[in-house]
Structure 1
């Protein structure tokens, strides 16, 4: 029997419908909007089947997803003793041929938009070939966030000013600061020097 002969509940709202996913023909939707709304959940089970020419199929093409790239940074978590290397998604580049991260997406690490400082000097005032970009929350102290133990650890507790809340550092790809490259443990001495001299 033709599947459209039966009313099925829409996966999203439960309304009776005779329309179904054009790709797998196993999911029922009352409108194209509900098909798009459910795509992130449905796509894992959606396996294309040959179209049979039925007129009440709803095309469920995947929505265009941004071309995310990632970059590694150093995360100083407030309540951990050691910094960790993390991978952070970046805002999609303007051109698909670009491979550098133009701007890391930091929402998972900060409740409000962070402020930042750019470090151009490392130990003993030497110029950094790859400047570092340090993001922090100016509101962390006001929110009674815990003292950042990871920063206290890498400075052996000698930093003149305590840091609060999370801190994330990235390495620029060069002195022009046009994008970010992979940060790692080799950047810790310069960061430690900064935390030790920050007043």
Structure 2
């Protein structure tokens, strides 16, 4: 059984309810490609291409892409002003091309004041042992370079013994396997490997 379209807009030409839009601007609604073609002499004057459409415009009425369901996973937040790391929930946007097996994109920018993030992947834990579930660290490169206040949560789990103090926020996600195609919930069991990394960081 096909789901009933949730979008119900009046056709620009005849006002009949429709769930299709102009694939070029994605802001005008039509009940059929024919009605878009009939309205094109008028609509073309206001049809501004959507930001993510390609130059090879396909001027037809098509259903909008289904709203993608965000994936929620537990992550570890090392906030600079907090004494201990804590578990948070991070939303991940699914890959645009599921058949390619690409990993979802974590939406972590809200945890970083300047919005700039970089990431590294930890594949080794204590004593250089390979991690079955690699850890994905997100951090602010500008916080590290400008020597922002030392991250107290990281200072705490390393007992202050790190060769170089880590500055700024860190968010850690855990991959669901070595192929890194998705995430699973991170938790306190991942802290020893993270502590080893921060101790070795120079």
TM normalised by structure 2 equals: 0.62
Aligned counterpart in structure 2 of residue 108 of structure 1, from 99, 107, 110:
110
Query: 2:78 & 2:123 partners in 1: Cα distance?
Result: 20
Query: 2:196 & 2:147 partners in 1: Cα distance?
Result: 26
Larger CA deviation: 104-113 vs 175-184 = 104-113
What does 1:73-88 correspond to in 2, within 5 Å?
A: 73-88=75-90
Which 5+ residue runs of structure 2 have no aligned equivalent?
1-26, 28-65
Which runs of at least 4 in structure 1 moved beyond 6 Å after TM superposition? none
Query: 1:141 & 1:132 partners in 2: Cα distance?
Result: 19
**Aligned partner of residue 80 in structure 1, secondary structure:** coil
Query: 2:78 & 2:139 partners in 1: Cα distance?
Result: 10
1:180 aligns with 2:188: no
User: 1:184 deviation in Å?
Assistant: 0.4
**Please, what is the CA RMSD of the aligned residues?**
2.6
Larger CA deviation: 108-117 vs 186-195 = 108-117
Q: How many residues align?
A: 139
Query: 1:144 & 1:179 partners in 2: Cα distance?
Result: 32
Which 5+ residue runs of structure 1 have no aligned equivalent?
1-32, 34-63
Query: 2:127 & 2:105 partners in 1: Cα distance?
Result: 29
Aligned counterpart in structure 2 of residue 155 of structure 1, from 133, 154, 158:
158
1:128 aligns with 2:127: no
Alignment partner, residue 189 of structure 1: 192
Query: 2:109 & 2:137 partners in 1: Cα distance?
Result: 15
1:90 aligns with 2:92: yes
